[in-house]
Structure 1
Amino acid sequence: MKVLITGAAGFIGSHLCDKFIKEGFYVIGLDNFLTGSPDNIAHLFGNKNFRFIEYDVTNYIYIPDDIDIILHFACPASPVDYLKHPIHTMKVDSLGTLHTLGLAKKKRARYVFASTSEVYGDPQIHPQPESYWGNVNPVGIRSVYDEAKRFSEAMSMAYHREHGIDVRIARIFNTYGERMRLNDGRVIPNFICYALENRNLPVYGDGSQTRSFCYIDDLIEGIFRLTVMDGLEGEIFNLGNPEEYTILELASKIIQKTGSQSTVEFLPPMEDDPKKRCPDISKARRILNWEPKISLDEGLENTIQYFKLKLNKNKKNPADGGA
């Protein structure tokens, strides 16, 4: 079977390429390297079950091959990225979604859309079930990402209802692990890089806001099950780790695990920063028979080792930057 993965050179997309190839699929990867890196998929070049196309999905997509599954994972995903590229973020989850859904219709392919916990905004229900409609500021600074994902969900479901496309939506909560960029901007890579350099860890607000953190291997398994199981047309699943930590607790863990001399530096709160974020994964447990297996302690140790290697490599080869 052939799988098309957009955002293939990104953090999650590159791991998805590995997983589907390992499971015997032929993978066609698309990416324009706006936030992804060739390094993430370099090990796949030359693999007979992988083909890469450098392409921007906001343009019309032509693929001559038969395609069985499309996973639309292209999109800047960290606040640093989508605030730097606000219009492209909205285009990739409007035009990009339209083009990939159109391709799914033409190829009669199953379609998996990478949504986000950000569709819940600053939630008034905790933890957040899939049935919750969210509390989102439609014109706030984060709306370029939040509303783009909400629009893409609506368009995906419209194609499901109007054209019978087998659509599945994964609402992905905070995920971390190897292949995140040094300058990614999300809290775990930020904290690890600052701690390894003995710089103060920036905490916005008082640090009492909570997040849940899912290790990349666990997330990939959840996405794979959501993708390959039959009978899930039109279904939406939260995928994330329901263990909840305050940002201060996370900072303390990372300082301890890195043996850093860093301390916490409190900064003004970020606009529309959710106070709580934690998935209700009872649906994924029941239907996908999935839940995270890797603890935050184990996942952080793996991730810290990865960032140590990246930082050392950059010191030896400063031209490599933060890719």
Structure 2
Amino acid sequence: AHFANQNSVDNPETDLMINGIGTLKVLQYAQLAGVKRLVYSSSGCGVYGLESKMPFEVHDVSISLHTPYQVTKLLGELYTNYFHNLYGLPIVNARFFNVFGPGEVPGKYRNVIPNFMYWSMNSLPLPITGDGTETRDWTYVDDIINGLLAMGIKEEAVGEAINLGSGEEQRVIDMANMVNKITGNESGIVYMERRDWDVKNRLLSSIDKAKRLLEYKPQMKFEDGLEKVHEWFVDNQDDIQKSAEF
């Protein structure tokens, strides 16, 4: 569950200004400044559609999308490709899959893992939209960073779109149970109606291209990553309580 999607549904014009016009302005300035490399933060959760085959290969993008966030993320890739093709701007399109890790505060439009961790630590039941069998390709932030650093130096990456994921599926229900186990929360899970735009039952990246071009190899096991998120929440609990807005 990526709450940038919900934010874009609620505020489509703002989403277009930030992810659309904002990206275009960055590319214009990058071209004028003659930057040596621009890595665009695209979304593997956004540019692949229902008709895309699993695991998602980089060539299998969709133009039948379900949220403004998905539309503007694909628009950003079209603009980066345009600047690369016309001006020779050295770009790389990084397609992130469900990034998580320490440092992300919970909130209304935040990602599901920090929200679940927050609710679980406050002894609240975890709300699952759907039946919990939906899968996501959660990827630890340090693995994403390693992929991005490689994109910044590998010549083979220029002009390419590359998935950065874990290459593994995790069910939402299993993730929720792991979070409750880590925190000792006995309030369990509640099931809620699926959101209208949330139509993807499964998300799984193919990271073969990243392995080939970037020597990319995810290191963090999913449950170990959740443990690190929990440790960060424990260490910063007072600040998190003050800043969390739902």
Q: Given the two structures, how large is their TM-score scaled by the length of structure 1?
A: 0.70
* Counterpart check, 1:301 vs 2:224: no
Structure 2 segments unaligned to the other structure (5+ residues): none
Conservation of the 8 A alpha-carbon contact between 2:156 and 2:213: no
Which residue matches 1:277?
203
Counterpart-to-counterpart distance in 1, 2:92 and 2:160 = 5
Cα deviation digits, residues 41-73 of structure 1 (max 9, x gap): xxxxxxxxxxxxxxxxxxxxxxxxxxxxxxxxx
Residue 311 of structure 1 and its aligned partner are, at CA, apart by 2.8
Percent identity for Structure 1 against Structure 2: 26
Higher relative contact order (CA 8 A, sep 6+): 2
Conservation of the 8 A alpha-carbon contact between 1:122 and 1:272: no
Which residue matches 1:131?
59
AA matched with 1:97: T
Counterpart-to-counterpart distance in 2, 1:132 and 1:95 = 25
Per the alignment, in what secondary structure is the counterpart of residue 127 of structure 2?
strand
Higher strand fraction (1 or 2): 1
Runs of 4+ aligned residues of structure 1 deviating over 6 Å after TM superposition are none
Per the alignment, in what secondary structure is the counterpart of residue 193 of structure 1?
helix
* Counterpart check, 1:170 vs 2:94: yes
Counterpart-to-counterpart distance in 1, 2:51 and 2:145 = 25
AA matched with 2:103: R
Higher helix fraction (1 or 2): 2
Residue 172 of structure 1 and its aligned partner are, at CA, apart by 0.4
AA matched with 2:62: G
Per the alignment, in what secondary structure is the counterpart of residue 93 of structure 1?
helix
Which residue matches 1:98?
24
Matches within 5 A, 1:231-250: 231-250=156-175
Counterpart-to-counterpart distance in 1, 2:219 and 2:153 = 20
Residue 190 of structure 1 and its aligned partner are, at CA, apart by 1.6
Counterpart-to-counterpart distance in 2, 1:135 and 1:210 = 22
Computed over aligned residues only, the root mean square deviation of the Cα atoms, in angstroms, reads 2.0
Residue 313 of structure 1 and its aligned partner are, at CA, apart by 3.5
Which residue matches 1:114?
41
Q: Given the two structures, how large is their TM-score scaled by the length of structure 2?
A: 0.91
* Counterpart check, 1:225 vs 2:150: yes
CA gap of 1:308–1:243, structure 2 versus 1, over 3 A, is: same
Residue 159 of structure 1 and its aligned partner are, at CA, apart by 0.9
Residue 78 of structure 1 and its aligned partner are, at CA, apart by 2.7
Matches within 5 A, 1:40-119: 78-109=4-35, 110-117=37-44, 118-119=46-47
172-181 vs 116-125, which moves further: 116-125
Residue 84 of structure 1 and its aligned partner are, at CA, apart by 4.6
Cα deviation digits, residues 18-49 of structure 1 (max 9, x gap): xxxxxxxxxxxxxxxxxxxxxxxxxxxxxxxx
Structure 1 segments unaligned to the other structure (5+ residues): 1-75
